Structure 1
């Protein structure tokens, strides 16, 4: 239910200000004027901004629970290309790895994501949450981040709920095309690339990387490569693609294209039909230089890396496709049914050429290790959604809403590969020549191939009945509904290692290209030892299946008294069931050691989750909100399995923990909001979260390679903080140019603390964790986050510009072990500029420059660099025409 609108004049410049920042305000009313030119200017400004900002902000103001909403115009203004990068502009939100949003410093597990209010499948092999970079901004109508829990939200709610709301059927005919060209300062020189497939431009592998049919037959027959002869091993190896060697080539420019068309039609006064089709293509390349530290060693006060790569050159290509099709029908403005079909495809193709040292291969021995690795993955999501909204005036305006979604996502990594080489400074000139002083590693893992697939399916049905009622000074609305979710996931992984110990004559390993060293001719003429050339290193737990069902019912009331108080709240009941089963790929049997493991893999709980929100209207333009909610955070699918898997984001091995407990959270929020004259506004919020058994990442030392990450329960946790938002037109300084300028921003100051009991964690995981700091901040939490925007809009509506700044405070990414402190991702100062020119009513030209400060991503501990990555300064020029 909405509070009656409080109206006051908003001048044309304020409309532009409103469209730049997701802060609540009031509906815009055209300023009265006798001058005809002034009236024309109002129309032009509103048209340029497409008129959605006011509605978005009015929605936020009228939310019963604390929420932030960002509309399509705000996203366009800041120049962000996808949902993930756009959400970092919202108060208290930070972006991790370009994919996952941390709300108020709580990791991605503590936030839920919905698409048009419904659950969506995830193509991430290790997480339930969906990577938000999958959603291009061109198909997004608005992004809603609800930070205070309400019964209509999923109970799995820690930091908040992110709802991605896609564009809907337009009210009038729209047809637009857009093209964009861009590049990055890192891309100006030649970069390492490799021979891929003929369909890479389309974002699909043409079979070049896929495992050969002969090896696939071995896997499907459950024979794998165990016990095969050397002749069979060599024959199978010949079928593998070996042409992955990096070579320096010039980098193509980035380019993208978008098209959208839609319309609505009236029929017989009562019926209205409409459709919208939006499609886009985006191809880009990111080149970077990195440093990767893997194993530190302390010598007194000195810390040095004994395993590291200090020359890392990375080239990552991405190809994205997006298609959105909406069709709907409306009868008498009382009954509406919409169908949406969404297809998203995101292909990532990365090659890294790395030179470094290990504990055994050192500079003191005039040796270096070189390896290259190719990581190729295709992520796809298909979603069908059907939604209905019905109002029955004859029943006291009873409302009935329903929605159904069936979605599938997949991740296909058809053939990733890595190869290892040894560089020896034979002439002792201090230069390790890649071409003349190189040989393929003489080891059991000179090369490795991996082949991965994942399929996720989600079916979600929800309904809601609402009934408005007015009695004396009370305006009331009562809601009751249900939400039913079913999710299934199947994943498998296969690995092959190339053992050069199979050759008796190691001189054949000299060279710097894997494909040139192990040719068919060399393989045919080589003499072999008793070790096989191919080793199947697929292990138990590489395959798994998972299922999840959630049945939920809720009741919610919204009571508004005497234009002074608003009481909203209710309770949600959820019955949650989940089962995860790891398989032994060789036997297709459960990978369980005993019956205890079997019982712990099945997870079931049911509980009630209440919430209450109170709003007090201090003045017509000022309100104070209070809210409380009890929520829960549950383990991800793989985290309750004892199997070890490789996290593709951190490259660390991760071991799950059967019997992992649910995190219970009590959430408290207070927010004061002031909607001032001419669209200026200010808000101040306080929040506190009390957590029991928070789920956290800890580390355990590994014998070789990076440390093993374990998932475990801390004892207790808490988080508290303050959020400030503002928007101010600079006309308060003076007349003239100041009338065209505004400044907006937000600041989050917060702190967190968890208590870890090493003895309890060792008992829970069965592994010693050697925790350095049993009391520390939560993983991923930044104590401060700053967003600011300085904007300009010309009087004639032909020009607009924004200078946008974002920075977050240091945050723990890798908890410390063995006496080493926690590793912190350092602040990244992002400064972007977006300029738009509207030469005529139909045309928009956009110039965008990002990371103008040329910042690097860095992770450090105890003033020691662990990882770094250059990002470069990117720029693009886009042209859009609306017919």
Structure 2
């Protein structure tokens, strides 16, 4: 018992002793290049207590008694630096990041009075200066100043970057097809099957270290990007112990506290972002539903049909309620522990966001046509859709990560899960003008449940005294998107009466759509430093592999009415399945349909890449990065058309795990960097990249969207788009992370993919098509400047300005050009070129921030605007 008591007492004293000490931690870098200085000596002056920097230039001195010290930093051929008045507090971490200057003449010592150095922005500027790519970015320090809660809000401050729909990144005004989003350098699938990039709003800023946007290609990157590649870097080693709670609330006067907000009763777990089973198909999707023609003469089949029909929830239309404001909560925690031979860091975060949108008197997908009379220049209104749209969106994300670092290695593991549930309701009045004039009113409600789970394991290993670096990463991802019990009822309006007339407005329907995707990506690279003309150069080789598998299925149920003249719904969609209106004795509502094979598909992608790249310091001021990447891309498809399923395989088209795309292509790249002086660079680059069709685009699937009442038609004949990229940039760097940069770019597109109307007779049907050839060119201007140069009293003010002007020109192919030519007005001429679909002509991001570190007050005002773009390409008399 005494031994136990003694052990406990000693342990307690040790804990108390450690709690009464502090830690000094930071990074040592080259002041001119920003490179980490490995093996620098850091010592508390007048003692033997100290540490050496590791392969990332980091150091940590633990168990330092509270007090004020002088810390000496030294490295061979660099000026010694002493930081005085460094205060260490019990139980806290003092951050001291120090740049050292070279001194080949004399090794003198510089004494600096200590202050807390917050250099995250400066570090990002350093990354830009020494990067082989033309890049821009935003740091976690800026997130805090602006107050952005997610990466989508933050990234639109980056030059040449805009956000569509509050979540999708456009770089240099190009659509998301030409922008790739990666997480910690690795590809992961998104939450939207209609997009090629991942939603940026799923990443809360409290887990993000930096967001880097690379606008020029180097051989170590995937080749399928053109506008830019967005790399979201998750924190791994916090400099100090952090525990953070956050909350926010937002109100839009047009959307919130509105009594006309459209919604409907869902499941008990909707507030957690997933359905509790309320919206599940009420019977097996493999069930063979009785046909009404047979049930009318067979009592047992009639009863079965009634049972199947009665199994569905009766709700078909939304109800009005009061809309709630937006709100969110966040929690994050992290710390770093330094041991004798290794360090451990961990990060964790949990975030919840609930947003509500309501558009009253919205104009939704109205259609216009050119008049048949060529002398009439005004467009004719074909159909007009107006109404109300309400939606509620719930996001929950969780992140857990751990990193272990030794003298020559770092291993990291991070797991991310995102859960999203979106409930949408609308009531749309449609008026048809050019055909037989009629009015219809559509009620639609939809619930979409999305989830993504990603794990990334990575390692960095420094071999042979850091002369050779081995990097590797492996990341599996599982994502799921489920549209659960999407419901639609079209009423034809006859005066004040609402009637269901399938010949005019179609049948009421309910559908379930399921998309499951598995993604595994891995890559490695070896980098060796060597001397060229007395300057340090690098040679890198590596390879990558990505596997994707997707399954997409649709279960569709139509609700028909037998002897409809004997059934009354009273204009109420919810009466469609009331007990007295359900099929009985050959009269009433009954269900028909099931699994939609022709609208379902599965696909597989295998992409193997290999690269070699040399970063050659040809002179002290001139660097060339020359590389070559090759990719072997293979895409498989399984699916059939309507004729094949209707004939039970007797006719029509069916692909069974068929290879629909196989290409082996080289992607050369050259980046040239000339240092005009220690503060400015002149850059030029050329690269060949590619844009590939998505699973959904390169298919024969026909997918109906009940909310917009449109059809997507797959195009199995799509081919890849080849792009040539030219970039030029001048950049000047001031102290403290201030910079001015002017960029120009020029791109050529061969067979660009655009979203187009299928034909002029079906303006509600869209597909993807290779359209002619195109060019895109533009300029970007960026300035980050402290206003101290105007007056010393403005030293706490910083101006942030970036703007882009972009011009696109697509040469129409003969199909589109001839169709447009045949619909010209009298005296009208037609140029062969037009704007590219999805291309914005200009972007402006401007901000003025105030930061007083002494009193802790920060404030900022930001403005962001994106120019209009062509959403879809019409044809013939469809604009």
Please give the TM-score of this superposition, normalised by the length of structure 2: 0.80
Q: Does the aligned pair in 1 maintain the 2:305–2:583 contact within 8 Å? A: no
> 2:754 aligned with 1:730, yes or no?
no
The within-5 A match list for 1:765-804 is 775-794=833-852, 796-804=854-862
1 CA distance for matches of 2:257 and 2:461? 56
Does the 8 A contact of 1:559 with 1:567 survive in 2? yes
Question: CA offsets, 1:70-120, max 9 Å, x none?
Answer: 112223333333333332222222222333222222221122221111111
Deviation at 1:54, TM superposition (A): 2.1
Deviation at 1:200, TM superposition (A): 1.0
| Conserved 8 A contact 1:441-1:509 | no
1:302 is aligned to 2:360 = no
Q: Quick one: distance in 2 between partners of 1:319 and 1:535?
A: 33
Distance 1:114 1:209 in 2: 33
Answer with 193-202 or 480-489: which moved more.
Answer: 193-202
Match of 2:468 among 385, 393, 398: 398
Q: Give how far 1:5 is off.
A: 3.5
Matched, 1:339 2:413: yes
Secondary structure of 1:813's aligned partner = coil
Matched, 1:81 2:149: yes
For 2:765, which of 694, 708, 716 is the aligned residue? 708
1:753 deviation in Å? 1.1
Equivalent residues in 2 for 1:532-611, closer than 5 Å: 533-536=590-593, 539-583=596-640, 602-611=660-669
Match of 1:479 in 2: 540
TM-fit CA distance, 1:805: 0.8
Q: Give SS of 1:123's match.
A: coil
Contact 1:122 1:456 in 2 (8 A): no
**Does residue 465 of structure 1 match 2:526?**
yes
CA contact (8 A) 2:550 2:604 kept: yes
Distance in 2 (CA, whole Å) between partners of 1:523 and 1:90 is: 57
Partner residue, 2:31: 5
Instruction: For residue 495 of structure 1, report the CA deviation from its aligned partner.
Output: 1.3
Query: Conserved in 2, the CA contact under 8 Å of 1:445 and 1:499?
Result: no
SS in 2 for 1:209: coil
Aligned-partner SS, 1:541: helix
1:329 is aligned to 2:398: no
Does structure 1 conserve the Cα–Cα contact (< 8 Å) formed by 2:286 and 2:595?
no
* In structure 2, C-alpha distance between the alignment counterparts of 1:175 and 1:520, rounded to whole Å: 56
C-alpha separation between the residues in 2 aligned to 1:589 and 1:238?
30
| Cα separation, 1, equivalents of 2:719 and 2:694 | 11
Q: Is the 8 A contact 1:411 1:454 kept in 2?
A: yes
- Residue 606 of structure 2 aligns to a residue whose secondary structure is strand
Distance in 1 between residues matched to 2:444 and 2:515, nearest whole Å: 21
Query: What's the secondary structure of 2:366's corresponding residue?
Result: strand
Of 276, 279, 298 in structure 2, the residue corresponding to residue 206 of structure 1 is: 276
Q: 1:437-448, aligned counterparts within 5 Å?
A: 437-440=497-500, 445-448=506-509
Work out the CA distance in 1 between the residues paired with 2:523 and 2:432.
55
Cα pair 1:199 1:206 within 8 Å, conserved: yes
Aligned to 2:203: 135
Shift, 1:560, TM fit: 2.1
Q: Of 318, 326, 330, which residue of structure 1 is paired with 2:393?
A: 318
1:281 has 2:352 as partner = yes
Distance (Å, rounded) in 1 between the aligned partners of 2:876 and 2:857: 57
Secondary structure of 2:364's aligned partner: strand
Distance 1:458 1:645 in 2: 23
Deviations 1:45-85 (A, max 9, x none): 99999652222221122111101121122233333333333
Whole-angstrom distance in 1 between the partners of 2:834 and 2:625: 36
Q: Unpaired runs of 5+ in structure 2? A: 1-27, 35-78, 88-93, 98-113, 297-301, 825-829
Among candidates 536, 551, 556, match of residue 495 of structure 1: 556
Query: What do residues 661-703 of structure 1 show as CA deviations (whole Å, max 9, x unaligned)?
Result: 2111111101000112454321101101112222222223365
Shift in alpha-carbon separation, 1:454–1:74, aligned structure 2, 3 A: same
Distance 1:389 1:697, change over 3 A: same
From 234, 250, 266, the counterpart of 1:196: 266
> Structure 2: how far apart are the matches of 1:120 and 1:315?
30
Helix, strand or coil for the counterpart of 1:235?
helix
1:443-473 deviations in whole A, cap 9, x for unaligned? 6834211101111111111111111112442
3-state DSSP of counterpart to 2:206:
helix
CA contact (8 A) 1:540 1:591 kept: no
Contact 2:529 2:537 in 1 (8 A): yes
Choose 225-234 or 638-647, whichever is displaced more: 225-234
- What SS does structure 1 have at the residue aligned with 2:633? strand
Following TM superposition, by how much is the alpha carbon of 1:44 offset from its aligned partner in structure 2, in angstroms? Answer: 13
Give yes or no for the alignment of 1:161 onto 2:236.
no
SS in 2 for 1:206: coil
Counterpart of 1:511?
571
Structure 1 residue 539 displacement after superposition: 4.2
| In structure 2, C-alpha distance between the alignment counterparts of 1:735 and 1:406, rounded to whole Å | 53
Contact kept? 1:143, 1:165, Cα under 8 Å: yes
Helix, strand or coil: the match of 1:133?
A: helix
Distance 1:525 1:639, change over 3 A: closer
Does 2:336 align with 1:264? yes
- Match among 750, 758, 768 for residue 814 of structure 2: 758
1:254 aligns with 2:326: yes
Pick closer, same or farther for the CA change 1:61–1:253 going to 2, 3 Å: same
The 8 Å contact of residues 181 and 256 in structure 1, kept in 2 or not, is answered as yes
Secondary structure in structure 2 of the residue aligned to 1:418: strand
SS at match of 2:696: helix
Distance 1:360 1:240 in 2: 37
Alpha-carbon separation, structure 2, partners of 1:384 and 1:34: 43
In the other structure, the counterpart of 1:874 is none
Asked if structure 2 preserves the Cα contact closer than 8 Å seen for 1:295 and 1:308, the reply is yes
Q: Secondary structure at the match of 1:151?
A: coil
Q: Deviations over 1:776-803 (max 9, x none)?
A: 1111111111110011123634221111
Deviates more, 1:583-592 or 1:131-140: 583-592
Query: Residues 266 and 795 (structure 1 numbering): CA distance in 2 closer, same or farther, change over 3 Å?
Result: closer
Cα displacement (A) at 1:209? 1.7
Cα distance change on mapping 1:217 and 1:579 into 2, 3 Å: closer
Aligned mates of 1:178, 1:212 — CA distance in 2: 41
Give the number of the structure with larger relative contact order, counting CA–CA contacts within 8 Å between residues 6 or more apart: 1
Alpha carbons of 1:169 and 1:508: their partners in 2 closer, same or farther (altered >3 Å)? same
Aligned-pair CA distance for 1:323: 0.6
Determine if contact 1:293/1:305 at 8 Å carries over to the other structure: no
In 1, Cα distance between equivalents of 2:349 and 2:822: 50
User: Post-superposition shift, 1:504?
Assistant: 3.7
- In the alignment, which residue of structure 2 is the partner of 1:229? 295
- State the match for 1:833 in structure 2: none
Q: RMSD value over aligned CA atoms?
A: 3.6
Q: 1:104 aligns with which of 166, 172, 186?
A: 172
Secondary structure of 1:388's counterpart equals strand
2:112 maps to 1:52 = no
128-137 vs 341-350, which deviates more?
Answer: 128-137
Residues 672, 683 of structure 1: 8 Å contact kept: yes
- Whole-Å separation in 2 of the counterparts to 1:792 and 1:674: 23
Match of 1:90 among 138, 158, 161: 158
Q: Is the 8 A contact 1:669 1:688 kept in 2?
A: yes
**What is aligned with 1:744?**
800
The 8 Å contact of residues 532 and 617 in structure 2, kept in 1 or not, is answered as no
Which of 714, 726, 735 aligns to 1:668? It is 726
Q: Answer with 1 or 2: which has the greater Rg.
A: 2
Q: Are 1:291 and 1:309, in contact at CA under 8 Å, matched by a contact in 2?
A: yes
Q: Give distance in 2, aligned partners of 1:57 and 1:591.
A: 61
CA contact (8 A) 2:640 2:653 kept: no
Alignment partners' CA distance in 1, 2:403 and 2:851: 36
